[in-house]
């Protein structure tokens, strides 16, 4: 059978590709290397801390099984992250490759922060000369942001900022008193800096069968109410409802098969993860959504006489320009006021201070280009925060523990990373995994621009807290490796020129028109906003284009 479409990977972007293609009438095969996870199959979602064997503490066994992943997961969510021993890779330099191999991918565990990009971002490469120019601008993607936001549900505040366009928001979550205090203080000193509530894909009112968020802040365990967006709760059910979707878990795609005669891809090779059987599946179009590094490794592994260095790699850009945001610098502090204020519930998001650096043509004369936003959280210490204050026991200690502590704020900068050619992924010539696939090498480090930006973040965060009357201020730059912000992107970039980029303005491989790559690998620069909303919008846009081209007989 020849499918109309194959989608590789069922995470945030692959779920969107499957939904859009199925809803447009295409018989679609969704290939996912991990196990199936049906919506509701969230075994830890409703467990209390004392119902976990190890009381939610990371054990030595966890560290042995997941030395990399345990930097991003906890015992409540670890089953949605890979076992690092089963899925090795080679770190030429330290890089945490955080992965979730299952139906839904990392959509089950993501932080749900959703921010649009603006032309400040789409024009950045052209303006300062780092990387190649994006082949699209904000106007090309704006309607697709709206389309995606309406389906996934994004709660947020409209702020009217040109550098962070507003979206089609559900009602926002609320700032608490310490965050409002910090907001006022920052605004009084710097009019261009705005502290606002985070924009998150958590529902503040129901959408269809998905219920409103109950403010449990346990989202990384899966939400039985479907109150945050995941492929499992949202896009995959929508795709299945069309009757056009065939979902095949345990299907490791090893390569895309290129047909020299038609100059198109004709299908994919798959290894069944359980039986080790090899299969081929054919389709008219292929969407590659195996996550940035996963997709890039499939393309690099897809060699033919026409493409000896990997499918669509005429430019040599495939695998290069790996980016990840840095989120290592910031500050925290305590405030002695507001002792008569408290709140109930656990809001599943913090606050955001949108980018305020380098937004006015470099007037500020900073020693770095691009910018960062600040993400943070204000809270009053509760008993779990206080239990390490003393090793006492007894009624007095219990009474003290259950008395709320001081208010505090923690905040850090999510900073743009430039596209550097030397930051790259490539395939091992000798080492293989248990499915016979070449291991991925990752070679990544942050450059001088990112390091100077981190210093600016640390200093300005410290200043903002000092000016707002915080005490015990700790300013920091952690030594975090790349990968830990989990926004890896850029290794099959879009561009105007096939000599310097892999994909065109519609996410099509320049010289293999029926292959579309719409996950983070397509990104030409990283901006500083959390990127998944942009992956979803680009995916929906590319799917509409692909179906239109199919109908016109162009593919």
Ligand X SMILES: Cc1cc2nc3c(=O)[nH]c(=O)nc-3n(C[C@H](O)[C@H](O)[C@H](O)COP(=O)(O)OP(=O)(O)OC[C@H]3O[C@@H](n4cnc5c(N)ncnc54)[C@H](O)[C@@H]3O)c2cc1C
Q: Which positions lie near ligand X, rule CB under 6 A? A: 8-14, 31-34, 72, 98, 100-101, 105-107, 109-113, 251-253, 289-291, 294, 298, 486-487, 519-520, 530-532, 535
Decide which of ligand X, ligand SF4, none touches 219; Cβ closer than 5 to 8 Å per partner kind.
ligand SF4
| Residue with Cβ nearer ligand SF4 (202 or 524) | 202
Select 76 or 312, whichever has its Cβ closest to ligand SF4: 76
d(CA 199, CA 529) in angstroms, rounded, equals 11
* 8 Å CB contact between 124 and 525: yes
Nearer to ligand SF4, 232 or 321 (CB): 232
Contact 346, 217 (CB under 8 A): yes
Least CB distance to ligand SF4 at residue 218 (A): 5
- Contact, 49 vs 57, CB < 8 A? no
Q: Which residue is nearest to ligand X (CB)?
A: 11
Which is nearest to 56 in space by CA: 78, 74, 81? 74
Q: CB of residue 498 vs ligand X: minimum separation in angstroms?
A: 23
Minimum distance from CB of 12 to ligand SF4 (Å)? 16
Site string for ligand SF4, 220-259 (x = CB under 6 A): ---x-x-xx-------------------------------
In the three-class reduction of DSSP (H, G, I as helix; E, B as strand; rest coil), residue 141 is classed as helix
Question: Choosing among ligand SF4, ligand X, none, which partner's interface includes residue 3 (Cβ < 5 to 8 Å by kind)?
Answer: none
Residue 113 contacts which entry, ligand X, ligand SF4, none (Cβ below 5-8 A, type-dependent): ligand X
Q: Which lies closer to ligand SF4 via its Cβ, residue 200 or residue 502?
A: 200
Instruction: Tell me whether residue 216 or residue 496 sits nearer to ligand SF4 (CB atom).
Output: 216
> Minimum Å distance from CB 213 to ligand X?
15
Contact between 213 and ligand SF4 (CB under 6 A)?
A: yes
Q: How far apart are CA 379 and CA 410, in angstroms?
A: 9
For residues 85 and 209, which CB has a smaller minimum distance to ligand SF4 in the complex?
Answer: 209
Q: How far is the CB of 225 from ligand SF4 (least distance, A)?
A: 5
Beta carbons of 407 and 380 less than 8 angstroms apart: yes
Q: Which does 520 bind (CB under 5 to 8 A by kind): ligand X, ligand SF4, none?
A: ligand X
Residue partners of 149: CB distance under 8 A and separation at least 6: 114, 167, 168, 169, 533
* Helix, strand, coil percentages, rounded to 5, for the chain: 25, 25, 50
Of ligand SF4, ligand X, none, which one sits near residue 223, judging by CB under 5 to 8 A according to partner kind? ligand SF4
Residue that has been written with the tokens 């846009």 in this structure: 541
What SS3 state is found at 358? coil
Give me Rg for the CA atoms of the chain: 23
When the beta carbons of 210 and 480 are compared against ligand SF4, the nearer one is 210
User: Which positions ≥6 away from 492 have C-beta within 8 Å?
Assistant: 295, 296, 299, 312, 317, 318, 319, 502, 503, 517, 521, 522
Q: Which of 77, 157, 176, 202 binds ligand SF4 (CB under 6 A)?
A: 202
Q: Give the residue with the Cβ less far from ligand SF4, 219 or 528.
A: 219
Contact partner at residue 214 from ligand X, ligand SF4, none, CB < 5 to 8 Å by partner kind = ligand SF4
Give the nearest distance from C-beta 227 to ligand SF4 in angstroms.
4
Query: Of 166 and 367, which CB lies nearer to ligand X in the complex structure?
Result: 166
Dump strand ranges (E) for 416-534: 424-432, 438-443, 471-477, 508-509, 512-517
The interface partner of residue 535, options being ligand SF4, ligand X, none and the CB cut-off 5 to 8 Å by kind, is ligand X
CA atoms within 13 A on the CB side of 450: 26
Strand-strand pairing, 90-91 and 438-443: parallel
Q: How far apart are CB 105 and ligand X at their closest, in Å?
A: 2
Q: Out of ligand X, ligand SF4, none, which partner does residue 322 contact, by CB within 5 to 8 A per kind?
A: none
The binder of ligand SF4 chosen from 218, 353, 401, 411 (CB under 6 A): 218
Query: DSSP class of residue 118?
Result: -
Closest separation in Å from C-beta 335 to ligand X: 26
**Rounded CA gap, 321 and 130, in Å?**
11
* Shortest distance in whole angstroms from residue 92 CB to ligand SF4: 37
Q: How far is CA 158 from CA 138, 194, 342, 374, 378, in A?
A: 18, 12, 26, 17, 21
Which of 515, 519, 509, 489 is CA-nearest to residue 15?
Answer: 519
Q: Which of helix, strand or coil describes residue 375?
A: strand
DSSP label of 521: G
Give how far the C-alpha of residue 456 lies from the chain's centroid of Cα atoms, to the nearest Å: 24
Which of ligand X, ligand SF4, none is residue 82 near (CB under 5 to 8 Å by kind)?
Answer: none
Binding ligand SF4 (rule: CB under 6 A), the pick from 90, 126, 214, 257 is 214
How far is residue 345's CA from residue 214's CA, in Å, rounded to a whole number? 8
Q: Which of 79, 127, 137, 216 binds ligand SF4 (CB under 6 A)?
A: 216
Distance CA(63)–CA(61), nearest Å, equals 5
Residue 494 forms beta bridges with which residues?
A: 503
Q: Is 348 in the site for ligand SF4 (CB under 6 A)?
A: yes
Return the ∠ at Cα 523 (arms to 520 and 529), rounded to 5°: 80
- Run of H or E including 352: strand 351-353
- Picked from ligand X, ligand SF4, none, the partner binding residue 215 (CB below 5 to 8 A depending on kind) is ligand SF4
Give the β-pairing of 512-517 and 278-288.
parallel
Complex with ligand SF4: residue 215 or 246, whichever CB lies closer: 215
Of 290 and 494, the one with the shorter C-beta distance to ligand X is 290
Measured from the CB of residue 201, what is the shortest distance to ligand X in angstroms? 8
What does 204 interact with, of ligand X, ligand SF4, none (CB < 5 to 8 A by kind)? none
CB of 16 to ligand X, least distance (A): 8
List interacting residues with ligand SF4 (CB under 6 A).
202, 213-219, 223, 225, 227-228, 348
């Amino acid at each position: 059978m020849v499918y109309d479409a194959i989608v590789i990977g069922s995470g945030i972007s692959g779920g969107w590709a499957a939904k859009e293609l199925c809803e447009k009438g295409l018989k679609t095969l969704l290939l996912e290397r991990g196990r199936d996870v049906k919506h509701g199959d969230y075994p830890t979602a409703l467990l209390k801390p004392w119902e976990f064997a190890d009381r939610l503490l990371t054990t030595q066994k966890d560290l042995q099984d997941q030395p990399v992943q345990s930097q991003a997961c906890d015992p409540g969510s670890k089953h949605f992250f890979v076992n690092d021993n089963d899925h090795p890779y080679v770190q030429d330099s330290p890089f945490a490759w955080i992965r979730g191999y299952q139906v839904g991918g990392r959509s089950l565990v993501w932080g749900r922060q959703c921010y649009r990009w603006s032309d400040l971002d789409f024009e950045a490469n052209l303006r300062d000369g780092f990387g190649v120019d994006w082949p699209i601008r904000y106007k090309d993607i704006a309607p697709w942001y709206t389309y995606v936001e309406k389906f996934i549900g994004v709660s947020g505040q409209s702020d009217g900022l040109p550098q962070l366009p507003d979206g089609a928001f559900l009602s926002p979550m609320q700032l608490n008193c310490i965050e409002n205090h910090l907001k006022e203080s920052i605004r009084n000193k710097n009019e261009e800096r705005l502290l606002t509530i985070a924009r998150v894909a958590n529902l503040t009112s129901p959408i269809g069968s998905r219920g409103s968020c109950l403010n449990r802040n346990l989202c990384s365990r899966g939400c039985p109410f479907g109150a945050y967006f995941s492929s499992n709760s949202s896009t995959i059910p929508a795709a299945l409802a069309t009757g056009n979707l065939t979902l095949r878990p345990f299907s490791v795609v090893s390569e895309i098969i290129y047909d020299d005669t038609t100059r198109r891809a004709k299908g994919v090779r798959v290894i069944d993860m359980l039986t080790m059987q090899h299969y081929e599946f054919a389709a008219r179009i292929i969407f590659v959504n195996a996550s940035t590094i996963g997709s890039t490794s499939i393309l690099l592994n897809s060699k033919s006489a026409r493409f000896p260095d990997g499918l669509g790699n005429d430019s040599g850009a495939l695998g290069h320009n790996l980016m990840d945001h840095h989120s290592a610098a910031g500050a925290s502090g305590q405030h002695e006021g507001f002792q008569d204020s408290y709140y109930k519930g656990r809001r599943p998001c913090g606050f955001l201070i949108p980018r305020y650096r380098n937004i006015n043509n470099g007037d500020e004369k900073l020693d770095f280009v691009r910018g960062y936003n600040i993400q943070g959280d204000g809270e009053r210490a509760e008993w779990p925060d206080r239990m390490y204050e003393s090793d006492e026991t007894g009624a007095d200690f219990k009474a003290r523990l259950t008395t709320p502590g001081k208010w505090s704020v923690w905040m850090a900068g999510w900073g743009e990373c430039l596209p550097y050619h030397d930051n790259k992924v490539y395939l091992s010539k000798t080492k293989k995994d248990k499915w016979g696939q070449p291991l991925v090498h990752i070679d990544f480090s942050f450059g001088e621009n990112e390091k100077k930006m981190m210093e600016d973040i640390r200093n300005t965060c410290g200043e903002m807290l000092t000016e707002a009357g915080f005490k015990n201020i700790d300013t920091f730059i952690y030594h975090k490796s790349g990968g830990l912000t989990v926004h890896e992107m850029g290794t099959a970039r879009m561009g105007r020129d096939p000599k310097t980029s892999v994909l065109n303005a519609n996410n099509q491989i320049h010289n293999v028109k029926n292959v579309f790559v719409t996950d983070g690998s397509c990104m030409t620069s990283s901006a500083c906003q959390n990127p998944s909303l942009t992956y979803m919008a680009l995916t929906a846009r590319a799917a509409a284009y692909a179906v239109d081209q199919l109908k016109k007989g162009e593919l």
